Amino acid sequence: MQETEARPIRILGISGSPRNMATDFLVREVLKIAEEKYNAETDYFSAKGKKLNFCIHCDFCIRTREGCIHKDDISAELYDKMIWADAWIIGTPVYQGTLSAQTKTIMDRCRAVVAKNPKVFLNKVGMGIADGGDRIGGQEPAIQTILNFYVINEIIPVGGGSFGANLGGTFWSKDKGAEGVSEDSEGMRSLRRTLKKLVQTTQLVKRASSGTKSEMESEL
């Protein structure tokens, strides 16, 4: 058996919220489900209290291929976690109908990792979670932006499918934080369905990658 098949899948959860409330709860909850139901290895990064510098388009990463010019919590903590993981779960609160600034900053700063190795994220799998104080406050546009980011960086995006999950995990917090999203039964259903698709897709990719490696080795 190949090593990639033998080990559990690795999932990174990222909370792009500046608070430890609804988004933090949801990302931690989905990682807990992944561990308990799918035997996944997990890691977590929260934007709360972190130093996250904006991309300033200085092109240091392009010119040098040495990573980002900023030495902050993204470069010190997050980049290695991103490379380690087979799959990502990015969660964001909805601000002004879209992502939080923290979530967008994290995504923008991935340019430095890809500049160093353009295929570094190839065939990882990703899903999105968005929560908002209003029932229809921008959850799906926020997730769509996360999915667009995955496509651009050659990460395979997944949603939960028709009739209830669509683009990903969407939640109505009613501005009650973790309590509000935990009471959203439809939101929790969308989360579980999307996580299931994430795990299934990641397992398929790992098996396919292992098979390709075996075929290449047999031809040598």
CATH at 103? 3.40.50.360
62, two tokens: 């392009």
204 vs 3, higher pLDDT = 204
Q: Would you place residue 106 in the very low, low, confident or very high pLDDT band (cuts 50, 70, 90)?
A: very high
| Residue 6 pLDDT greater than 60, yes or no | yes
Number of domains in the chain: 1
* pLDDT reading at 2 higher than 70: no
The domain of 19 spans 3-219
Q: Are strands 87-93 and 125-132 parallel, antiparallel or unpaired?
A: parallel
Residue 94 exposed, middle or buried by CB count within 10 Å (0-12, 13-18, 19+): buried
CB 13 within 8 A of CB 45: yes
How far, in Å, CA of 9 to CA of 207, rounded?
11
Rounded (to 5) percent helix, strand, coil in the chain = 50, 15, 35
Question: What pLDDT, in 10s, does the model give residues 172-217?
Answer: 999 999 999 999 999 999 999 999 999 999 999 999 988 755 553 4
Going from the C-alpha of 173 to that of each of 22, 47, 100, 137, 148, the distances in angstroms are: 7, 19, 15, 11, 24
Segments of the chain assigned E as strands: 10-15, 41-46, 87-93, 125-132, 156-157, 169-172
> Does 5 or 126 have the greater pLDDT score?
126
Q: What percent of the chain has pLDDT over 70?
A: 94
* pLDDT for residue 219 is more than 60: no
* Tens-digit pLDDT profile for residues 38-94: 999 999 999 999 999 999 999 999 999 999 999 999 999 999 999 999 999 999 999
Q: How does the average pLDDT of the chain come out, rounded?
A: 94
Quote the percentage of the chain above a pLDDT of 90.
Answer: 90
- Burial tier of 123 (Cβ tally within 10 Å: 0-12, 13-18, 19+): middle
User: What pLDDT is stored for residue 217 in this prediction?
Assistant: 44
The per-residue pLDDT for 215 is 53
Flag whether pLDDT at 20 surpasses 80.
Answer: yes
- Can you tell me the mean pLDDT for 24-46? 99
Which pLDDT belongs to residue 209? Answer: 87
